[in-house]
Amino acid sequence: MSEKPMPNIAFDLQRIHRVITRGLTVLEENCHVFAESGFPDETTCEGFWKYCQALEANIQGHHMAEDDIFFPFVAPRLPERDIPRLSLEHQVLANTLGQMKASREAGSLVDLGPELSKLAGVWYPHIHKEETWFSPEIMGQVLTVPEHIDLAQKTAAHSAAHAQPAPLCVPFLLYNAEPEDRAFYMNAMPPELTQQLVPIVWKDEWAAMKPFLLN
Ligand SMILES: [Fe+2]
Ligand SMILES: [Fe+2]
């Protein structure tokens, strides 16, 4: 008989960090290539900027879920950790996201490149701290199983509500996720979303991002 794995909010953090990290890597690599050689066609150009928009919004949604729900809940359980510092880093990242948006709206790869480097410079040490401070072992010690389940549901709902527009952000989440992570998300989402909206109703809106997404 297979045992159901224990729920642990730390795995949810690691999962969304992997999705965002892939998005950032893909965007950096392609920004460099297209800045050198130009976009091969209009659809690729459209898809690149939509992918950029979806990355910005998914980071924003994730950070709001941490600031509004996760951090306030775990901070009293981990008084030795400088959790306000993590929220300050979110503000630094939000400033960079604002600059990325301006570059995107101007269609400027030359301006976008340095913003992506700035984002990466804060992002990697930031998630390293989070994944160390909120490791599965530590979270397993400071939260009860019902708290893990409740926090996972609340943070997922909060980030989904703020990661907009959904027709770009949901496909971005699903198709930057490796198979195991994608299966987790698909299972957690309502069937209407995964069987109707993403593959059919929203398809035309996000299809241009396909060259940057996983199969
Ligand atoms: Fe964070
Ligand atoms: Fe995070």
Q: How does pLDDT run along the chain (215 residues), one tens digit per residue? A: 445 668 999 999 999 999 999 999 999 999 999 999 999 999 999 999 999 999 999 999 999 999 999 999 999 999 999 999 999 999 999 999 999 999 999 999 999 999 999 999 999 999 999 999 999 999 999 999 999 999 999 999 999 999 999 999 999 999 999 999 999 999 999 999 999 999 999 999 999 999 999 99
**Long-range Cβ pairs for the range 189-194 (8 Å, 24+):** none
CA 121, distance to chain mean position in Å, is 16
| CB 122 within 8 Å of CB 93 | yes
How far does residue 139's CA lie from ligand 1's centre (Å)? 16
pLDDT at 3: 56
Closest ligand relative to 134 C-alpha: 2
How far does residue 125's CA lie from ligand 1's centre (Å)? 10
The alpha helices in 107-195, defined as continuous H runs, are: 109-133, 136-142, 145-162, 166-175, 179-188, 191
The helices-and-strands tally (H runs, E runs) of the chain is 11, 0
pLDDT at 6: 81
pLDDT at 1: 44
The DSSP code for 107 is T
Residue whose entry in the numeric block shows the structure tokens 């659809």: 43
How far does residue 25's CA lie from ligand 1's centre (Å)? 18
How far does residue 194's CA lie from ligand 1's centre (Å)? 27
Write down the pTM of the prediction: 0.96
How far does residue 117's CA lie from ligand 2's centre (Å)? 18
| CB 184 within 8 Å of CB 146 | no
How far does residue 165's CA lie from ligand 1's centre (Å)? 21
pLDDT at 2: 47
- How many other CB atoms are found less than 10 A from the CB of residue 141? 10
User: d(Cα 152, Cα 74) in Å, to the nearest integer?
Assistant: 13
How far does residue 114's CA lie from ligand 1's centre (Å)? 21
How far does residue 38's CA lie from ligand 1's centre (Å)? 33
